Amino acid sequence: MSVRLEASSLCVGYGERLVVDTLDLSVVGGTVTAVIGPNGCGKSTLLRALGRLLPARSGAVLLDGKQIDRMPTREVARVLGLLPQAPSAPEGLTVADLVARGRHPHQSWYRQWSSDDEAAVDAALAMTGISDLAERTVDELSGGQRQRAWISMALAQGTDLLLLDEPTTYLDLAHQIDVLDLVQELHSSMGRTVVMVLHDLNLAARYADNIVAMRDGRIVAQGAPGDVLTEAMLLDVFGLDARVVEDPVSGTPLVVPVGSRHRS
Amino acid sequence: MAVVAVALVLLAAVLVVDIMIGDFPLTAAQVIDTLLGGGTRRDQFVVTELRLPRALTGLLVGGALGLSGAIFQAIVRNPLASPDILGVTWGAGVGAVSVITFAGSLGVVTGGAASIGLPLAGLAGGLTAGLLVYALAWRQGIEGFRMVLIGIGITAVAGNFTQYLLTVGDVQDAGRAMVWITGSLNGRGWEHVVPVALALVVLVPVALIGGHVLGALQFGDETSRGLGVRVNVARSFLIIVAIVLASVATAAAGPIAFVALATPQIALRLAGTAQPPLFGSVVVGGVLVMLSDLVARTIYRIELPVGVVTAVLGAPYLMYLLVRSRREARV
């Protein structure tokens, strides 16, 4: 498979502070990548820079080999979709309207709505299982439903690449599994390429093909979950004393923190 | 398409009704006949010289104010955002009142000079205030709430300056200026229709075309940019269109209160959408001003300025908005 999205010697920062420091990353088409790391390590910043929301201080982000900040933003939006952390919608907007706005990059002032758009919206709603909520307003949905609505919008955008910034935040465990199962389905049945920031290491291990562990704006380890999620890495990256055992269901690594109460 | 047809029929109907009523009552048939070139000479005079230009000015000014308010409210995501509150109309007030008082005391504002100088000064004042608010609110982009706060500040400055001008001018000029800053369609003729019509012919299509990004602009900046919107370019462009619309309208009829504020919210409720519909706001604004003017010129034995009627209707609405937005602090 080919490399779809690439960071090359990428530096990104806010003001004086450099948050992503000379980072190299290649995202291969058709894979699910999870970015993990302690709070403030630069994982959300990396994701924003990959989605051209933040400019590169130096280095570059390449989308299909082309420098992303030199491409028209609308053209990028037809290939790459992104879902920010805790996005906000105007009051009173219905789910159907929200999802329809995902079609924006495919529309223009002379062609504002087409049957393609209609079909894409219907498909996106069906895929996330919220077709029956289409006429409800976004503010009256539960957390899990709302996240599905936003993911539907990203799906309606019809992009091969999806960047998700902590798609499971504020969701209970059942809804987290729900959302990640959906991501898995996008990947396996539709061949989408997904890069997501995740906090839960065990879920990252179960759902990602590739794990990228970051600390202080740099990548410390990357590769298959079994290779990256080791006791040594956890101590090094998170400063966490933990055992790693085999997940009895999936066979992927399962992180079990020790904590002071059980330290011998 | 059906909605557009219904809206245009409604506009035409209100226009005919507006022309029917007055000191020389006409029937609907007489009005339509006269508009198509028939009728007696008296009917011709009443319709085409007196009532039609006045009604059209009201229609166009209302449409421009409605559209301007709809753009502001959609971008700022706040039902309080409107050219009245963002300083544009009071800026136009300063421009116009300056001409009335200063030029008046020099004895040069008569006839033609007044009819050209006044709207031009209003236009310049509105544009200046609007662009000033815009420039002061710019900080690596435009943020709605900051713009509302700065707009309230500029409105206060411009309002006080206008009051000052009224105090220093002589009594007759101040009287005329008061009528102007109330917003009035009295004595509006074809010379008032033409500039607003020209502005609308250009700006309505521009706004409707540019407005296709409004839907994608309604989210946080990151989401909008993710959808391929050049957020700052699109927002700046639409705000400038809205400032020009409000300034042109105010130049023609004075600052008619509350129309730009209330129209988008009425249109939004009629259309059942989450954001103010642009075309719908043009229609609702036009109908609102025509009907208010009909009330203003017939309710009392002298013709009242239309701004009196819209203020009486609009003030309680503004209070309702303020009370409501205090209760739920989100926008």
Instruction: Name which of A53, A81, A137 is nearest B222 (Cβ-Cβ).
Output: A53
Please write the tens of the pLDDT for every residue from A31-47. Answer: 999 999 999 899 999 99
Query: In this prediction, what percent of chain B has a pLDDT beyond 70?
Result: 93
Question: Does B274 reach chain A within 8 Å, measured CB to CB?
Answer: yes
How far apart are the CA of B157 and the nearest CA of chain A, in angstroms?
32
Mean pLDDT calculated for residue range A50-75:
94
Residues whose CB falls within 8 Å of the CB of residue B281, separated by 6 or more in sequence, listed in order: B66, B67, B69, B70, B263, B264, B267
d(CA B255, CA B64): 12
- The pTM score is 0.84
CB A209 within 8 A of CB A32: yes
- What is the structure's pLDDT at B328? 47
- What is the structure's pLDDT at B330? 43
**A-B contacts at Cβ under 8 angstroms:** 73
d(CA B181, CA B255): 6
Please write the tens of the pLDDT for every residue from B55-93. Answer: 999 999 999 999 999 999 988 888 888 888 888 988 988
Structure tokens at A218: 């740099």
ipTM exceeding cut-off 0.95 for this assembly: no
The H or E element that residue A143 is part of is helix A143-156
Please write the tens of the pLDDT for every residue from A180-219. Answer: 999 998 888 888 999 999 999 999 999 999 999 999 999 9
* Least confidently predicted of A13-27, A233-247, B209-223: B209-223
Q: Which long-range CB contacts under 8 A does A253-257 form with residues at least 24 apart?
A: A253/A202, A253/A205, A253/A225, A253/A226, A253/A229, A254/A202, A254/A205, A255/A201, A255/A202, A255/A205, A255/A229
How far apart are the CA of A177 and the nearest CA of chain B, in angstroms?
24
Residue with tokens 């009829």: B253
- What is the structure's pLDDT at A216? 93
d(CA B331, CA B328): 8
- For chain A, what is the mean pLDDT? 92
Q: Which candidate in A53, A68, A73 is best for mutational testing of the B interface (most B CBs within 10 A)?
A: A73
- What is the structure's pLDDT at B27? 87
**Residue length of chain A:** 264
d(CA A4, CA B21): 69
Please write the tens of the pLDDT for every residue from B274-304. Answer: 788 899 999 999 999 999 999 998 888 788 8
Dihedral of CA atoms B141, B142, B144, B146 in degrees, nearest 10, equals: 90
Mean pLDDT calculated for residue range B242-270:
89
Q: Domain spanning A1-79+190-264 has what CATH number?
A: 3.40.50.300
**Residue B183 pLDDT grade (very low, low, confident, very high; cuts 50, 70, 90):** confident
- What is the structure's pLDDT at B115? 59
Structure tokens at B252: 């023609």
Mean pLDDT calculated for residue range B136-158:
85
The secondary structure of A29-50 as a DSSP string is TT-EEEEE-STTSSHHHHHHHH
**Residue B116 pLDDT grade (very low, low, confident, very high; cuts 50, 70, 90):** low
Residue with tokens 């300063």: B94
Residue among B244, B221, B223 nearest B233 (CA)? B221
Please write the tens of the pLDDT for every residue from A86-131. Answer: 888 887 889 999 999 999 999 877 777 788 888 999 999 998 889 9
Q: How many Å separate Cα A238 from the centre of its chain?
A: 21
- Write the single-letter amino acid at B41: R
| Domain ranges for chain A | 1-79+190-264
Q: Domain spanning B2-327 has what CATH number?
A: 1.10.3470.10
